[in-house]
Structure formats: structure tokens, C-alpha cells
A and B are shown apart, each in its own frame.
Chain A
Amino acid sequence: MNKIHNHQLAAILFLSGAWSVICIPSLSGSGQITGTIIACLIQIICCLPMLALRTGTFSNQIKTHKWLGIIYILFFLICGANGFSQLWEAAPPQLLPSSGKLTAAVLIALTCFYTSSAGLRATARAAPIVMGLFLISLTVLILGAWKRVDLSRISFQMTDFLPSIRTYFSLSGELAAVWILSDSVRNHKNTAVNSYLISKAIFCILILFFSITAGGRLMYLNGYPFFTLTALSQPLQGQRADALYILVFVMLHIMHTTLQTGIIEHIAEQIYPIAEKWSAPVSLIFMLIPAYFFKSDILEDMIFYSLPVLILIIPLSLRIRQFMKSIQKKEYSHEIF
């Protein structure tokens, strides 16, 4: 994989995370905002060992320990499958009006096959453009919801936030990609990762804030706050904004799946160079099959339980090993002198 810029890294991770945010299944109240802030802070701390590792550690490790690469491949397959499962469960009829959900998933998978064939660098280059379109749609969404905001519906709550921390973590599968992608970043990778984590939390808080204040009780009845908000946020009287929301919905899913596919391809290339050619279509098939059979909450549970191992325990143990080795080296050099 060629080098990517830090802002491209932040954009690609954010867009993948934004897909999970728009698929938050339910709204539980103002405590969810507190939970999101706490979860974001925990994630910043969890990322420290990954960012402290030397550049190239991941590539070196998976070349010597192939099982490690396979574990990460399986994890990203689950994340991709979860994305398709969310597509089937969350997509409201007005966002996929003519094609059914299965047709939409197959077409998106085909597009992802095309986008991932260009490699992760091309995806990273496209990310800031997609980000621009995403921001335009977000502005329209906010403008539409603004006139319905009633601040008396929201209050600062320090209770009932634990379930939302869990939800936020189970929707943060792309965190494991930080370690792999940060090997390819030229400089300022800490800034890129922090800006991704903070901007994702801000986006999540914005969606929750407008869902609570503009949507009111309708949000608690329908689930999927983002999609309920899109139905309520129509800023122009003579023109519906659905097309913009469809665009964002599809683009975010494509970015999410392309990131997973691209990383699987990148890992497979290093473990078994012969697998490079077939890893993208095979991984897409292996994402669609579990997505068809498993509900997203089962896949989210898998992500939630495996995420701490992949983002914290493995990088932390490697960092400790690197540290011990450097101490041993120093002792050895002292003995020589």
C-alpha cells in the first residue's frame, strides 16, 4: 500500500464510522449523548498503544505470525457483514424506493468490488470528496430539523448512559483499521486519528441532539433515529431532500464496505501474495452470506467483544515487548563497554 495523507486517513475512518452512526438502532434519551462523550474519551485512550507502536509493526508481525493476520481478516469480514446486515434492517422504504433491499445490497457489493479493485490509496483519495458531499447533506438535514427544535425536550443526564457506551463501541469496528492504516500515513497520524474520533463523536451527538429535540416522541416509537430524522427534515417546501439522503446513505455504505474489503486485501496480500487477486470478491461474498443469515445485533456483539483484544490487548502487548527489547539492548550495550 502506498502512503496516504493524514487528512485522507481521518476522512476514510470517519466516513466508515458515520455509516455505523446513521444505523444506531434506537434512541434512549439524553443520557445517550453523555454515553457517546464518555465512549469517545475511552476510545482516545484505547488508541494510545496502537499509535505508540513503531511504523511497520503490523506488517512485520503478520508476516511472522500469520494467525494474527487471519484474526484481523475475520474481524473485518464481520464488520463488513454487519454493514450489509444494517443495510437490510435499517433502510427505510423511501430511501430504497424502486429496488428491494437484497438488490440494493448486491448492487452495492458490486460497486464495492469495483472501488476496492483500485486499492486503498484510491479509496483514501476519494474520501475527502465523499466527505464534502456528506457535509452538504448534513447541512440540509440540520437546516430542515432546525425549525422543529424544541430545547425543552432535552436535559443533561448522567444516568442510563452505560448501554449507549456499549452501542457506540459495537459500532466502531473501523477502530481496528487505525493500526493497519496508520502504517501508511506519512506524518501526523496521531492528529488524524484524534480528529476522526472527535468528529465521529460530534456527528453522533448532532444526530442524537436533533433526534431528541426535533423528533420528540416519534423518535422513540420508530427506532433508527437518523432515518426518522430524514423523514422529518424536509427543508424545502416544493422539493424533497430524499435524493440527498439516498446519496449519503449509499456512499457511506460503499465507503464502509470498501474500507473493510481494502484492508482484507492488504492483509491477505502480505500473508499470501497469491491471494491478492481474489481476496476482494471472496471477502465480499463472505460478507454477504453471514449478513443474510445473522441479525446485526449478533454481529455487533461479536464486534464489541473482539474489539478490545484487537485495538488494545494485542497492540499493548506488542508495545511492551518492543519496550522490553529496547531495555535488553541497552543492557547488552552497557555490558560490552
Chain B
Amino acid sequence: MKFFKFLFPCVCIFLTGCSTETISDRLYTQAVGLTCDGKLSFYTQNFNQEVSPPVEGISIAEVLRQEESQNGGKVFIGHTELLCLDGTCTLNPAEELLFEKGLSPACKILYAKPEEYFQNPENISVIHMIRMSEQNGLLCKTDLATALNEWHGVWETALLPVQKADQSVPALILLHKDGGCTELSDFAGKGMYWLRQNSGSFTMTLQTPDGEQDILIRNCRIEKKSENQELSYHVIIRTGTPELNQPLQRLVEKQCESAIHEMLSAKADVIGIQDLLENSGIKPEKNMKIRISLTVTVQ
């Protein structure tokens, strides 16, 4: 027994260096794309901005195996920053990628045709564009985990960024389960920013009668309540420029109203309506009439 007690840790220590796998045996992807036109097509781009030719298969496991054989390395998608999907695949394969293949929950999803997106390796800059736009208050936060949460709701829609033709700040679309999508107007897109996750500080430019003026947004949070089937959303914004509070309040109110109107017209929920209804004991249904009262306070 004493011999075993001595031998066991010694063997364990020596076994820790036994792996023969080197970094070149692995393919670390920065962006992946999927289309499901009959067969599943899988696109990858590594961190050296090299795009691999697409592989085809009938399941995620098969396309990953094919990708490994083609690239001569084990595919690791744990550090992937961008998932490119179109209406053919929707978000259906994303769940398997997240929970079984280790895709990062913070991975951004871009609504685009992978065959077009992966033609130009420089398109990868859209990741940085999305991140900076989110930080600067120009685009609301979206990622894989949030999108999947919305996708599995009663209204089966997810809010995703989409690249604009002029390569400016991405727009937002509502992707539906049937593959169809509704593009939100710029105004509604800005409203979504206030109505979704709480955000940090940033500076925005406001159009006033005196011209364009910068306003510092210190903090923005949302309080949601549900009383007698009526939902109330209260957006509270703290600014560093009190004299501009009123014009900001009017602007945010308009943006939020526009966002709510466009979202409800598209029969979608990306602002947590379902959670509110369920918590107040109401079973949400796809065709139910939703009434939302909105209050904006700028302090």
C-alpha cells in the first residue's frame, strides 16, 4: 500500500506532459457561418483572417469532422467572435454549437449570407464595429445567449445586427422562426437600446434649436412591471448635462415608442414581455393583445 501511495502521484505528475497535440494541430476560428439549404454548409475564418473553403454535411458533428479533415487540425470554436447566419438556418443549429461544441455565449450573431460574407476576409472588422457601436450607445447589445433566449420564447423571434450596404453602423432585424425577417428603422433600433439591457456611460450628440450638442449619459436602467395585463416600462436615464434633459427625454420617448410599435407589429418580443407576463401569472400567447405604457425619466 505504501508503494502504491508513492507511485500514484508520481505517475500522475509524469502523465500531465503526455499530450502530443501542438497548437498547429488545432484550428481556432474567429468567425463561423452556417447555411442550411438542403444540406448544412459550414464556413470558417481563423485568427489570421484566412477563410477555408466551405464544407457540407447533414449535421453539425459531420461538418466539423469534414472541416478538421480539410484543415488538418481539430476545430475549436470556443473563442469564436462571430456567427454568421441567414434565413435558411435561422438560430436552430446555434443551440448545439453553444451547449455541445463550446461556442462562446458572448459570440455576436450577424444576419448575413455566409457565402457572401466569407468572400471578403476583411469583413471580420464588423465584429469590432458591432462592439464599439454597443459601447457608444449606437447599437443595443446582442449576443448568442440573448438571441437564443428570445428565440425560445412564445413569439419565436430574435434581434440580430445586420450589415448595411454603406458599411456604416449595423442595423437591427427581427429574425422569425420561419426564416423571414423584419428590419427595424434606425429610430426604432435606437429605442431598442434604451428598452433592453442596462448600459454604462457614453456621450451622444443631440439636435437642439441651438445646434448640435453633446450630452453625457452616465447610466441608463429599465424598470419593468406588470399589473392587470398592462405592462409598464420605465426608462431611467442619468445624465451629466441637466439643461439637455428635456430634449433628451422627448427623443428617447419617441425612439422607444417607435421600437415598441415596430416590434409589436412584427409579432415579436425582444424586450422581456414574456417573462413579465409569466411572473404575473398570465400565460402568454402568440396572438394576444399587448398593451405597454412607457415612461421616460431623465435625471
- Residue numbers of A with Cβ under 8 A of B are 92-94, 114, 117-118, 148, 150, 152-155, 216-218, 221-222, 228, 231-234, 237-238, 240, 242, 277
Known: A92-B99, A232-B145. A240 touches B279 (CB 8 A): no
Is B106's CB under 8 angstroms from A234's CB? yes
Is A218's CB under 8 angstroms from B145's CB? yes
Is A152's CB under 8 angstroms from B224's CB? yes
12 residue pairs bridging A and B, Cβ less than 8 Å apart: A92-B100, A93-B100, A94-B101, A114-B4, A148-B146, A150-B272, A152-B224, A153-B272, A155-B279, A231-B102, A240-B78, A277-B1
B149 in the interface (beta carbon within 8 A):
yes
Is A216's CB under 8 angstroms from B275's CB? yes
Min CB–CB distance B61 → chain A (angstroms): 11
A216 to B279, CA, bound (A): 12
- What residues of B have a CB within 8 angstroms of the CB of A155 in the complex? 279
A57 to B183, CA, bound (A): 73
A222 to B99, CA, bound (A): 9
Is B224's CB under 8 angstroms from A114's CB? no
A-B contact count (CB 8 A): 64
Min CB–CB distance B155 → chain A (angstroms): 12
A93 to B104, CA, bound (A): 15
A98 to B148, CA, bound (A): 27
A94 to B145, CA, bound (A): 17
Is A217's CB under 8 angstroms from B279's CB? no
A295 to B46, CA, bound (A): 42
A154 to B224, CA, bound (A): 12
Is B106's CB under 8 angstroms from A237's CB? yes
Residue in contact with B279 in the complex, picked from A152, A222, A233, A242, CB distance below 8 Å: A152
Min CB–CB distance B249 → chain A (angstroms): 23
B79 in the interface (beta carbon within 8 A):
yes
- What residues of B have a CB within 8 angstroms of the CB of A150 in the complex? 272, 275
Min CB–CB distance B296 → chain A (angstroms): 18
Interface residues on B, range: 20 to 34
Min CB–CB distance B171 → chain A (angstroms): 24
Min CB–CB distance A9 → chain B (angstroms): 24
Is A117's CB under 8 angstroms from B1's CB? yes
Q: Which residue of A lies closest to B273 (CB)?
A: A152
Q: Which residue of A lies closest to B103 (CB)?
A: A231
Q: Which residue of B lies closest to A239 (CB)?
A: B79
- What residues of A have a CB within 8 angstroms of the CB of B78 in the complex? 240, 242
Known: A216-B149, A237-B106. A231 touches B98 (CB 8 A): yes
Known: A155-B279, A231-B98. A218 touches B5 (CB 8 A): no
Is A117's CB under 8 angstroms from B279's CB? no
Is B105's CB under 8 angstroms from A234's CB? yes
Write out, one digit per residue, whether chain B residues 15-39 have a CB within 8 A of any chain A CB (1) or not (0). 0000000000000000000000000
- What residues of A have a CB within 8 angstroms of the CB of B145 in the complex? 148, 218, 232
B153 in the interface (beta carbon within 8 A):
yes
B261 in the interface (beta carbon within 8 A):
no
- What residues of B have a CB within 8 angstroms of the CB of A232 in the complex? 105, 145
Is B99's CB under 8 angstroms from A117's CB? no
B276 in the interface (beta carbon within 8 A):
yes
Min CB–CB distance B279 → chain A (angstroms): 4
Is B152's CB under 8 angstroms from A242's CB? no
A105 to B100, CA, bound (A): 20
Is A218's CB under 8 angstroms from B102's CB? no
Q: Which residue of B lies closest to A144 (CB)?
A: B105
Q: Which residue of A lies closest to B7 (CB)?
A: A114
Write out, one digit per residue, whether chain B residues 83-122 have a CB within 8 A of any chain A CB (1) or not (0). 0000000000001001111101110000000000000000
Q: Which residue of A lies closest to B154 (CB)?
A: A217
Q: Which residue of A lies closest to B143 (CB)?
A: A148
Which 4 residue pairs of A and B lie closest in terms of their CB atoms, listed nearest first? A155-B279, A216-B149, A217-B152, A94-B102
Min CB–CB distance A76 → chain B (angstroms): 22
Min CB–CB distance A174 → chain B (angstroms): 25
- What residues of A have a CB within 8 angstroms of the CB of B9 in the complex? 114
Is B5's CB under 8 angstroms from A153's CB? no
A277 to B101, CA, bound (A): 44
Is B272's CB under 8 angstroms from A152's CB? yes
B8 in the interface (beta carbon within 8 A):
yes
A169 to B106, CA, bound (A): 36
CB-CB contacts below 8 Å: B188-246 with A: 224
A92 to B79, CA, bound (A): 18
- What residues of A have a CB within 8 angstroms of the CB of B1 in the complex? 117, 277
